[in-house]
Chains A and B, each alone.
Chain A
Amino acid sequence: MTQVRVLAGTRKGAFVLTSDAKRKKWSVSGPHFGGWEIYHLKGSPVNPDRIYASQNTSWFGQLIQRSDDGGLSWEPVGNDFTYAGGDPGTHPWYDDTPRPWEFKRIWHLEPSLTDPDTVYAGGEDAALYKSVDGGTSWTELTGLRTHPTGQTWPPGAGGLCLHTIILQEPRIYVAISSAGTFRSDDGGETFRPVNRGLVSEGIPDPDAEVGHCVHHVEAHPSRPDTLFMQKHWDVMRSDDGGENWTEVSGNLPTDFGFPIAVHPHEPETLYVVPITSDSLHYPPDGQLRVWRSRAGGNEWEPLTAGLPQRDCYVNIYRDAMQVDTLESAGVYFGTTGGQVYVSADSGDTWDAIVHDLPAVLSVEVQVLP
């Protein structure tokens, strides 16, 4: 019987939520790694019971956990995220003073599409790591950080974090706040910025190659050259592999936000959750609304059924919205208020799976046969 498994990373542990294909009744297990920040968990597309989790606290640093039984049990694996090549140098701090590059945490884990032992990790301060032994050892793919612009990347408000990894091997896209989007066409050996068309009000040069605060990027598997981006402000799309971007914010009430998702069966159907502004990280008017475009952007409709429409002041982080692959597509998102919402009908109606988790940092979804 088909099962849906939602992996929720939170500020105080990981939770595994399971249901059948109806997605009405849910079981909750957790917290796993109680008390630790779990920025992200993600299962291998090849072996869904192989799940990787990023575990961190400011006290005890970074760990990577691995499960081979769908999250029932976990084993710590490697946590040596050394910058390759010795002294990594500096990057500009918020006040433009040079700041030594310093590893802090892993924001995102992206398992390979073909090999369960291969997994990529996006770090803060921005670096891309790869493991080919199930997370036991990690090697930095230095072609990203050592790009000539690397020494000019400033941190976003949440840090200089590499938060998006899209694998279309040998092509790899990554996104960094606040450097922008980068593309490799050689399996991660070399990267180049792909940010033409992004305009950021904090950057005086309208043609700036880097320095953009990209919040999240998604692509539909059937259209690898089409990318959708939620930027600090602006919702953007590219139809040429990131070479050129155009704004598709259209009629959104505000185009600030963090996540963006693409419908699993309709590559022009998008979801965003507009947030009031960069200083007011909650929905406009206290109304939690997912906005859907069925036209690839520009024309958006609010989705409200089942979502709180008054007194709601939560945020939705960049890795906290996902879709499943069932015929009646599911859309999921988690909030800083500890709710995880599901829509089993492409966003038309919503239910809360859980109400009271710690602040949700990430949501991933697996459909199991």
Chain B
Amino acid sequence: MTADAPVIEVRVVLPVHLRTLARVGSEVTVKVPGGELTQRRLLDAVEAEFPVLLGTMRDRNTGKRRALVRFYACEQDLSNEAPDAPLPAVVAAAIATGREPFLVVGAMAGG
């Protein structure tokens, strides 16, 4: 992909508390500007569409994933992948074509 590539529409599934906060249903669609599909660019698009989610998935200053938030797609746990690394080709293709959503998940941690 290049910077001139068309905008990618990505399906994103949010955890229930963030749906409530953003006042959306179980799944949203966000527009990621053309270019390599990375977690950072995808999450930037989510936060741009829903500013109320700023700080709820990633630290506002460092951009680091919150400890109890996980990112999944295509049955893969992407949580510990580098934010600026291109998503694995098979994942990127599935997400970019809308076949699979990107999942933001609250970690199972009791409570």
Contacts and interface: CB of A to CB of B under 8 A. Distances in A.
Contacts of A35: 17
Contacts of B15: 59-60
A78 B45 CA distance: 19
A62 B106 contact: no
B68 A59 contact: yes
Contact of B17 (A36, A76, A82): A36
Counting chain B CB atoms within 10 Å of each CB, the highest count among A60, A76, A80 belongs to: A60
Contact of B57 (A60, A76, A80): A60
Summarize A's interface: helix, strand, loop or mixed: loop
A76 B21 contact: yes
Contact of A62 (B55, B61, B69, B109): B55
Interface string B74-111: 00000000000000000000000000000000110101
Contacts of B54: 79-80
Interface in A45-95: 57-63, 76, 79-80, 82
Nearest to B104: A60
B55 A58 contact: no
Contacts of B17: 35-36, 57, 59-60
Q: Which secondary structure characterizes the binding site on chain B?
A: loop
B56 interface: yes
B66 to A, nearest CB: 6
Contacts of B69: 59-60
Nearest to A33: B20
B52 A61 contact: no
Contacts of A79: 54-55, 60
A63 B106 CA distance: 16
Contacts of A60: 15, 17-18, 21, 56-57, 66, 69, 106
Contacts of A62: 55
Contacts of A61: 55-56, 66
Nearest to A35: B17
Contacts of B109: 58-59
Contact of B60 (A58, A59, A80): A80
Contacts of A80: 54-55, 60
B51 to A, nearest CB: 9
B61 A82 contact: yes
B97 to A, nearest CB: 29
A63 B68 contact: no
A79 B66 CA distance: 15
A60 B109 CA distance: 13
Interface in B15-54: 15, 17-18, 21, 52, 54
Given A59-B107, A61-B55, 13 more contacts: A58-B109, A59-B15, A59-B109, A60-B66, A60-B69, A62-B55, A76-B52, A79-B55, A79-B60, A80-B54, A80-B55, A80-B60, A82-B61
Q: Across chains A and B, which 7 residue pairs bring their CB atoms closest together, nearest first? A: A60-B56, A59-B68, A59-B106, A76-B52, A79-B55, A61-B55, A61-B56
27 contacts: A36-B17, A57-B17, A58-B67, A58-B111, A59-B17, A59-B66, A59-B68, A59-B106, A59-B109, A60-B17, A60-B18, A60-B21, A60-B56, A60-B69, A60-B106, A61-B55, A61-B56, A61-B66, A62-B55, A63-B52, A63-B55, A76-B21, A79-B54, A79-B60, A80-B54, A80-B60, A82-B61
Interface of B: 15, 17-18, 21, 52, 54-57, 60-61, 66-69, 106-107, 109, 111
